[in-house]
Amino acid sequence: MFLWTVLSLFCIIKYILHLTTARCKSIKNLTGKTILITGGNSGLGLELAKNVASRGCTTIIADKTDGAETVRKLIKESNNEYIFYEFVDFTSFKSVRTFAEEFKNKYKQLDVLVNNAGVGNAMGKTEDGLEATMQINYFSHFLLTHLLLDVLLKTPHSRIIFTSSIAGYVSNLNKENLKCYIHAALAMMSKTLAHKLRGTGVTVNAHHPGMVKTNIVSSMNKDGASYFIKFIQFLFWLWGMDTDSGVQTMLHLVTSDEDTTAEFFMNCKPFYQPPIVCNDKLRDTIWNLSEVYVNLKQEEKVDTVLNMI
């Protein structure tokens, strides 16, 4: 009886997850567009690269792992020769700065910046003295977005997309523990930046892709993983979706004809913002602290860039 109950519960939850997994319905051709995908050499980033490359756009995969073979395969599969790999190490602000400078020397437009790169649980400190997971997932994207903002502003109707998570709904983020709560920080950055860029034509949104089986989950603290981490990994193994299903909301944000901004998306549509994201004062505090942590120069700040365009 107990086994039957467990199996029934599993089937019910699996069916509910299936029903709530939306599909991007857009068939838009992206020829002439330029899309930059951080973490584009694996997981959701790679799945997105496959899709947008097949739609004809210039696709740039930014990753620490060599993507030469990935590029070769994508060119062959999509018959699109405008697919490129660029090296960037998100554990190093110096590397992010070098990448941004080289990007602007090579590419003159940026229609979509997809801030997607992430790790589950990188251990230790970076060369910049920050907790590795937070720097890779949050701080380096904060810096990169600022460094590429001038290109985005010069490209009509450009978009910035952040991969976040519903984990932000249970965050206790504050100025003392900024280095701990990644997903809430990403969602807050997205909303703050969207407000700063209102009226410029640049839209900014965050999204939750769902419970997706990627190497981020499987690599979470393999050695000596806590029971909680193991439980999370078990749930993803049990109910997690494949990357094709998980990329749909991201793909919707890339291809949608709507100019929605400052939203948190799930299942290809705006969803309730995590409550903490609606705290304007805290968002400003976190933003200002982030500028300090990444050593942002005055001429790189949003207000200054806007005045220069």
Q: Which are the catalytic amino acids?
A: 164
Residue with token string 């590429």: 148
d(C-alpha 42, C-alpha 51), whole Å: 13
- Inter-residue contact 153 to 230 (CB < 8 Å): no
Q: In this structure, what token pair is assigned to residue 8?
A: 């029934």
Residue with token string 């004062």: 281
Report CA Rg, the chain: 19
Residue 273: DSSP 8-state: P
> What is the separation, in whole angstroms, between the first and last Cα of the chain?
68
Distances 139 to 93, 114, 143, 178 between C-alpha atoms, Å: 9, 15, 6, 10
Length of the chain as a residue count: 309
Residue 106's CB: how many other CB atoms inside 10 A?
10
d(C-alpha 294, C-alpha 140), whole Å: 8
d(C-alpha 209, C-alpha 44), whole Å: 9
